[in-house]
A and B are shown apart, each in its own frame.
Chain A
Amino acid sequence: MLKITDLKVSYGMIEAIKGISFEVNDGEIVTLIGANGAGKTTTMHAISGLLKPKAGSITLNGTELTKLPPHKIVGMGLAQVPEGRRVFAQQTVEENLALGAYSRKDKDAIEADLADVFTLFPRLLERRKQMAGTLSGGEQQMLAMGRALMAKPSILLLDEPSMGLSPLLVSEIFHIIVEINRKGTTILLVEQNAIRALDIANRAYVLETGHITISDTGEKLMKDERVKEAYLGG
């Protein structure tokens, strides 16, 4: 279980996250929705260690993550697909996937997981020798997800996976997210595309300028008047 308690994150004098608490239980898909600048990515970066929180605690199965050096966090079973994919453009698809397994030592299991990633994303198998920078946006998103899965995470953080993709590709990506979850990986999803996110989420939190204002099941939030008005286009 991932548990965030009274988390505060600042950029210099500006407090971007003003004390939020939420949790993600094992096996769930939880989504964090909110407008641009609400603090979604900041929250994700704090969880994966790219930003040091000013206060509060982040625990994964009881281990305090804020006390760990950032590069140790993936080894605890938490992987992040960052906003904008951030694949290593000048390395091949295969090399990107190998980097995903960087923190692991179990060679045979890595081979098996690589095969699983190629089953999930056949497109990556076709393009395994290609430089990641030459892939299309959708393929890069798949690569970023495959790369994160190569760490064999128990919880996967996805930051805006639908950004910049065609509606057809968005459907494919969300379908795969559900598939990954069905195979036993917990998901924390950040999305501006609130309809899609609420549709697959067990539970959801609404983040507004650094505060969590609403939390409920995905289904109920989909019908919530406030959410409808603000995020679902009325």
Chain B
Amino acid sequence: MKYGIRQYIFVIRELTAREIKRKYARSVLGIVWSVLNPLLFMIVIGIVFSGYSLYPEKYPVYFITGRTLWILFSTATMTSLTAFEDNKSLFIKAKVKRETFILSRNYTALVNLWFSCIALLIVYICVGVKINWTIIIIIIDVFLELLFSIGISFILATSYVFYKDIKNIWNHLIFIIAHMVAVFVPIERYPKNLHQITQMNPLYIYPNIARQCVLYGTFNKKELFIAIIWAVVTFILGIIYFKIRENEIVKKI
């Protein structure tokens, strides 16, 4: 009956299992869809956009790597948005830490990322990308991005309890941001004045680190440093914001 870290992990896993089961309960393809989806996207976008790349041959790898990491953020935040609202009764009555709801949604997004990694692997093998030790950096990178998403998720989910239209606003924002972080069109094609700002954008940095690691086998220490700062600061801010308003949420729900 004691709540140790183990128990939290167990709860998060159970909640995550629930999310995944629910998500795929009604689809025939089930988890295969998680693999097919990025591949389909890659093919279509590859055909349309590869002309924009400086290196058209690399574009498929460029796109699918960047998109996979971008999708981690977008699904994590979009699903976490309603985390408190969906678990209303648990939120009030259960003794679980409230943070677990957010964490489980983010973890679900991470599990989905693992499934899309199969797609990534297929592409890498087909294209003949040589993977070297820098793949470890990707794991760190994904972890940092997750931390960042958790921070944002806390802020969004908390706000959603009070203002329901945050959901719509965030949907549109996600769509806009997707075009600001060089997922589709490489940054070299961005107007020069935007380079500096885009390179500070965490949502550009996380996919970019992964792309650098896969495509070139290198990584930029400065970029990694910025990534860490963004992740940690956002995470802490998110938690603080949630803690401040926790009681209000219980009242409101």
Q: Do A and B bind each other?
A: no
